[in-house]
Structures are given as structure tokens and as C-alpha cells.
């Protein structure tokens, strides 16, 4: 089967906190991602447990690390020093786009400095220039789960309106420096995680709030501040360059009702509104949807929003929609067996297989998702994350025979192709990931997503050398022939 669209963008996605390492180089500050230790006894199917260590005390203790714990994201895969080697491998696989993130902590380590860190600017200038040398278009995520610790410590994260101004200053700096080197901009990674796991998404710590009601209020107010910051940088960026392209990024978990009972049909509609569509609606349509106001009323959320902010949201919406897609699940009013994936808990689907982490594999769900989003918003779509994490080791030939990854990717690509035939305007795909990285949620190196194997274990023992998996050669051939 030939892939339909000839001008499609194919590549891979990574995040600074998961690949760069060099956590203490050239003035960089620590980020919340780099302050979470590796937990060897973590239950892989209970991702919420991986965040229970995130207390103010644990974060402060991590700075001196007197216990000698291992903090994997401080080391990543040494992309900071080996990016030229990695980009060359991406090019040789015939990728034509790379989605990367820039670490706020390298540019404004404390958030509130007046001037950016020149060493940080220099590193990303070199990295982005190298992307262009390798004929890679660039999609930049401006903040990817790595809020600088000083912003959390001093300002308590995005709940503080001062952080909006810090983010705008940071973004303007990136636009001034890299406008000609970046093709697409995503302000905040998986913006809905700010409600699901606010520690990662907005830097809010639950212990700072006296009650559950106050905590819920803070989560949505901090999220609102992110929405306002995004709209403001859309406005600023377009004044600087009318051709600039902005997207959102949502952790998309499409769900199905557990059966045809109208009660469960409605439960599924409610879940999809609150976990997915609300975030797309605000950023694509420019206003808070009616259903969220009922939710706010019933949960005592008194959103502080001005008429000026409402106009800002309405007048500064997206150019395209992008999302991560790893799994689907079911919803039901009754208590059902749960499956956890990408920090969301959904019901198990008996028709789907799941990974070692409980993530349910559903290629057809990707086609359904693409059709839903296209029908609802009529904006170009881009799949910015999709992939499978598996425990892998090198064989005697220094490779990995990952036929399961080839099957996973090919089945999802087939469904993208079907969506294009349906008339959906989907223009690109960056797999998570082109190369093994430290897992965002479980902090494991052993949860491997890449086409390229990186020789580190969970404690960063190993050479760090790169080895090509079978899937790398499969992808390269797919790009050459277009045959799925």
C-alpha cells in the first residue's frame, strides 16, 4: 500500500529534559523534571505513583542530593554533546522534520532575569543550524514539562500571573533569535496535563493548598494563565512575522463508551469534553465552551478572567492542531478495571492489546481521532507523538529485532493514510521517539521508544553509544519507497 500524501512531513520528537543531559552546564538551572529520582520498585502500570515523590521537601533535598539518588533526566542521552551525531542519523533515516524542545532553564535560568543566558542561546543556535544543515524542518516546543525550579520555588508556578510575563519574555527572545530557523512553534507540551498532573504541567504542588477545592481552583486558574500566555505570544509572533505557524499540543486519549447504555454514552461524552475537547476548544475557537462553565459552577471554580483576556483568546487562535496519540480506553459510570496511560486512567477495552505499561494499542482509534478533530475544527492536523515503549537489549549483532515496533508504526501509518483518504487534512507525523530517551513519567531508560538504541541502563551505566534497530532500517525503506 502506497502512502497517499506526497508532501507529508515525517520525523521524530524529543524533549530537552529527556535527551540533553548537561544539567549543570553554562549557567543552566534545575527543572522539575530533573528533580525526580529513579524509582526501581515503581509499578509501571500506576503512573500516578511516579509523581507522589514530588513534594517541596523532596525537590529541595534533590538539589544537594545527600542520599546519592539517581536523577536520570540530569543525564538524558547526552544529546547536548552528541546532537550532531544524532541529527545525522535522523537525516540518514530520511526524516524531514525534527520536533525538539528548548529548555527555558538554559535561556532564563531563574525566569525573572532581565537578560537571557548567552551560552544557552548559543547552544540552541548551533543545534537549530545543524538541523537545517541536515535538511530537517524544525518544530519547537517552547516548554515541555521542565519548568525551572526557581519559578516553582519563588513564584509557585503558573498560578502566579508574573509567570505569564516571564514566559512572554522568554518567547520573544526565542522569536528574535531563531525565527528563521524554526518552521512551527508549540508553546506548551500537552497543555491538558496541567490539570491531570499539575506538578509537571504548571509547577503547582498540592501541599501548598489547604483543601481539595482550593487545589482544583488553582489548577484551572494556572491553566488559564497558560492559555492567556499562548494567545499573547501568538499575537506577538504574528506581528514579528506574518508567516509564523503556531499550534497547540494536547495529550489526546480518545475513549469509547463501555456499551450502548445511554448513561455510559453520556459519561463518555462528558469525559471527552473535560479531558480533550475543552483544551482544543479554547485554543482553536478562542473561547471557553459552555460545558466547562457548568463544571466550574459545580466544582466551585471561580475563574478570574477579564473581558480583555476574553478578547485576547478570541482574536489569537491556532494555525494548526497537534497532539500526542498513544492509546484509547473506555468509560463507564460503573466501576471497571482501569488501564493507565500518559497519566490518564481509563477503562480497559477487551478488544485491544496493551504494552507492559498498560497502554492499550489502537491504530484504528488514530483514524477516528483524526476524523473527529478535523470535523470539529477544520484546522490542519499534525501528530506530534506516537510510539511504543518496550524493554529491549542489544543482541550479539549490536541491534534489536523490534518487529513489534515495525508492526505498531506501520499499523498507525496505515490509519493515517485512511484518514487522508477520508479527506482529513493531516500534514505530518513525528514519532515518539527517533532515539531512546529517558521516560517522562517513569524516569526509565529501559522503557525504549526509539529506532536508535542508546547504550545506557536505568542508572546511566554504559557507553551511551548509538546502535540502529531493525525498525530504523524499516523506516528508512518506507521513506524511500512510500510502501507501508
249 contacts 141 by C-beta, under 8 angstroms: yes
Q: So what's the pLDDT on residue 183?
A: 98
Is 123 within the bounds of a domain?
yes
Surface-to-core class of residue 297, CB atoms within 10 Å of its CB (0-12 exposed, 13-18 middle, 19+ buried) = exposed
Domain range holding 340? 9-481
Helix axes 470-481, 403-421, angle to 10 degrees: 30
Residue 178 lies in a domain: yes
Cβ contacts of 25 within 8 Å, gap of 6 or more: 80
**pLDDT tens column, 52-74:** 667 899 999 999 999 999 999 99
The residue whose grid cell reads 479531558 is: 275
SS3 of residue 60 by DSSP: helix
Let me know if 385 is a catalytic residue: yes
Residue 47: per-residue pLDDT: 61
In a domain? residue 1? no
The CATH number covering residue 288 comes to 3.20.20.80
Cβ partners under 8 Å of residue 116, min gap 6: 107, 108, 170, 173
- DSSP string for 75-104: TTT-HHHHHHHHHHHHHHTT--EEEEE--H
Task: Tally the domains of the chain.
Answer: 1
How far is Cα 88 from Cα 93, in angstroms, rounded to an integer?
Answer: 9
pLDDT of residue 339: 62
pLDDT at 371: 98
107 belongs to a structural domain:
yes
How far apart CA 478 and CA 57 sit, in angstroms, is 49
pTM: 0.96
**Would residue 3 count as lying in a domain?**
no
Q: Which residues of the chain have pLDDT under 50?
A: none
**Does a structural domain hold residue 2?**
no
- State the catalytic residue, choosing from 199, 385, 392, 444: 385
Backbone angles phi, psi at 152, to 5 degrees: -70, -45
Question: DSSP 3-state assignment of 250?
Answer: strand
Q: Do the domain assignments include residue 60?
A: yes
Q: What is the pLDDT of residue 161?
A: 97
Amino acid at each position: 500500500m502506497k502512502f497517499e500524501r506526497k508532501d507529508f512531513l515525517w520525523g521524530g520528537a524529543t524533549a530537552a529534559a529527556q535527551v540533553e543531559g548537561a544539567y549543570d552546564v553554562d549557567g543552566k538551572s534545575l527543572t522539575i523534571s530533573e528533580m525526580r529520582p529513579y524509582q526501581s520498585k515503581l509499578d509501571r502500570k500506576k503512573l500516578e505513583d511516579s509523581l507522589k515523590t514530588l513534594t517541596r521537601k523532596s525537590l529541595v533535598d534533590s538539589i544537594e542530593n545527600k542520599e546519592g539518588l539517581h536523577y536520570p533526566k540530569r543525564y538524558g542521552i547526552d544529546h547536548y554533546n552528541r546532537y550532531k551525531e544524532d541529527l545525522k542519523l535522523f537525516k540518514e533515516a530520511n526524516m524531514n522534520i525534527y520536533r525538539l524542545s528548548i529548555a527555558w532553564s538554559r535561556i532564563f535560568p531563574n525566569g525573572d532575569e532581565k537578560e537571557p543566558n548567552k551560552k544557552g542561546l548559543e547552544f540552541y543556535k548551533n543545534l537549530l543550524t545543524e538541523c537545517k544543515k541536515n535538511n530537517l524542518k524544525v518544530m519547537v516546543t517552547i516548554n515541555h514539562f521542565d519548568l525551572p525550579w526557581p519559578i516553582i520555588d519563588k513564584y509557585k508556578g503558573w498560578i502566579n500571573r508574573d509567570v505569564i510575563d516571564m514566559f512572554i519574555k522568554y518567547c520573544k527572545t526565542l522569536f528574535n533569535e531563531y525565527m528563521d530557523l524554526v518552521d512551527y512553534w508549540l508553546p506548551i507540551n500537552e497543555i491538558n496535563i496541567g490539570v491531570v498532573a499539575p506538578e509537571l504541567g504548571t509547577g503547582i504542588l498540592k501541599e501548598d493548598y489547604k483543601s481539595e477545592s482550593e487545589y482544583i481552583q488553582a489548577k484551572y486558574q494556572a491553566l488559564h494563565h497558560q492559555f492567556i500566555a499562548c494567545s499573547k505570544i501568538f499575537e506577538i509572533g504574528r506581528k514579528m512575522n506574518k508567516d509564523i505557524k503556531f499550534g497547540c499540543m494536547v495529550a489526546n486519549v480518545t475513549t469509547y463508551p463501555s456499551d450502548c447504555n445511554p448513561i455510559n454514552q453520556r459519561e463518555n461524552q462528558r469525559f471527552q469534553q473535560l479531558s480533550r475537547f475543552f483544551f482544543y476548544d479554547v485554543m482553536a475557537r478562542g473561547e471557553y465552551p459552555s460545558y466547562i462553565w457548568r463544571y466550574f459552577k459545580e466544582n466551585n471554580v471561580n475563574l478570574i478572567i477579564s473581558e480583555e483576556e476574553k478578547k485576547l483568546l478570541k482574536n489569537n487562535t491556532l494555525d494548526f492542531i497537534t497532539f500526542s496519540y498513544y492509546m484509547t480506553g473506555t468509560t463507564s459510570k460503573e466501576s471497571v478495571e482501569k488501564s493507565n496511560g500518559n497519566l490518564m486512567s481509563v477503562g480497559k477495552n477487551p478488544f485491544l492489546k496493551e504494552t507492559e505499561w498498560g497502554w492499550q494499542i489502537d491504530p484504528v482509534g488514530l483514524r477516528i481521532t483524526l476524523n473527529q478533530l478535523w470535523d470539529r475544527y477544520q484546522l490542519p492536523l499534525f501528530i506530534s507523538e506516537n510510539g511504543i515503549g518496550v524493554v529491549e537489549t542489544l543482541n550479539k549483532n549490536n541491534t534489536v529485532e523490534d518487529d513489534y515496533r515495525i508492526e505498531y508504526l506501520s499499523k498507525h501509518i496505515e490509519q493515517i493514510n485512511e484518514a487522508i483518504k477520508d479527506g482529513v487534512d493531516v500534514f505530518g507525523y513525528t514519532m515518539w521517539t527517533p532515539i531512546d530517551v529517558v521516560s517522562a513519567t517513569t524516569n526509565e531508560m529501559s522503557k525504549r521508544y526509539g529506532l536508535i538504541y542508546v547504550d545506557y541502563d536505568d542508572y546511566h551505566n554504559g557507553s551511551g553509544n548509538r546502535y540502529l534497530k531493525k525498525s530504523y532500517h524499516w523506516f528508512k525503506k518506507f521513506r524511500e519507497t512510500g510502501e507501508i
